[in-house]
Structure 1
Amino acid sequence: MEKKVKTQDQNLIRASLSGDRRAFETLYHKYQSQIYGTLAQRISDRDTIDDLMQDTFFRAYRSLHTFKGQAAFSTWLTQIALNVYRSHLRSQQVRQNWVYQTEDPEVVHNVLRDLIPGALPDQIVEKRERIQLVHKSIQNLPERYRKAMWLRYVMDWSYEEITQALRVPLGTVKTWLCRARRQLKSEFRKLGLQPG
């Protein structure tokens, strides 16, 4: 039975690699319950499980050409799901650190120093309300932008270090930081934090 399953999977993988989307959909339907169960053992939030499942199958599809068939496809797919889960945990940790750090007025000043040229520290962090508004603005950024901002402005990492940590190209990191700065500048102007 196991050999038959392996052969069926290999046929579906070959068809998928040849461009047959239905073949990969068949693999998805065949293994979605198993991957869901693997993730549900570790996470209770259904939306998060769904997101991680989607990411797992996306990565599997993108990396299908690397599958060598030495292990069962289900084993390979489960390993991808576990890697996605570990990445999720790391991103949660980065997010929690970022939330903690953005409550510190000195950290907020360090971020804003680059975003609002010419602003005096007292103008930026004097009032608790402003810090809370800044914190809220930062939390409204997409998660990938928050991560990049935290690593660049709080941890003072180089672009190269960020690309390695987030596993994205240099251009992507620069784009995320640029978009995050643009979004924050717009928010800060609305909040009256941008010098006239």
Structure 2
Amino acid sequence: MTESELLIELKAGSEAAFRRFVETYQTRVFNLAFRLLGDRDEADDVAQEVFAEVYETIGQFRGEATFSTWLYRITTTQSLSHLRKKRTRKRFAFVTSLFGASNELLHDPPDTSQPEQALAQTEENQLLLRAVGQLPDTQRAAFTLHYMEGLSYKEVAAILQTTVSAVESLLHRAKRQLRTKLQPYYADVFNGN
């Protein structure tokens, strides 16, 4: 079955077509979500949200972009939204852990001046994934889509709903930040040795 035939059946509400769609794209959706989130359980949750959103909004797909671009856009948007919610929950939990019910300080804030010790002990891939995970959301998305998913600048621009030059700028800033973050671990590479 071709992608266009699958789309026609999906828009018609075929459950069998939706099952085929999930089987065909679940690995791609999960992998992108995992690369953006860095957590398998969260990526699985986001993948389920993506497929639910596709099921609910397939009728709105107008074909202005390729279907895979549309699917990547939904996955990226859901993943970044999940990250923002997670950060909000963490900040709230941190603040409430410092203050009691009467808003008095319960204990001193933890010392966050030390770098993650675990980061120095990880393998190269985990080191890179963590560094990518520290990038601002749009840089992380652009870097992941281009370098990890192998999409072109034009495809990344379509997914992020921006221009190719904006993608180039995002990637340039992401690489610069990654170089700074990873330089201590790869001093010989960055110093030309």
TM-score of the aligned structures, taking structure 2 as reference length:
0.50
Q: Which structure has the highest helix share of the two?
A: 1
- For the pair shown, which has the larger CA radius of gyration, 1 or 2? 1
Structure with the bigger RCO (C-alpha within 8 Å, sep 6+) is 2
TM-score (norm 1): 0.49
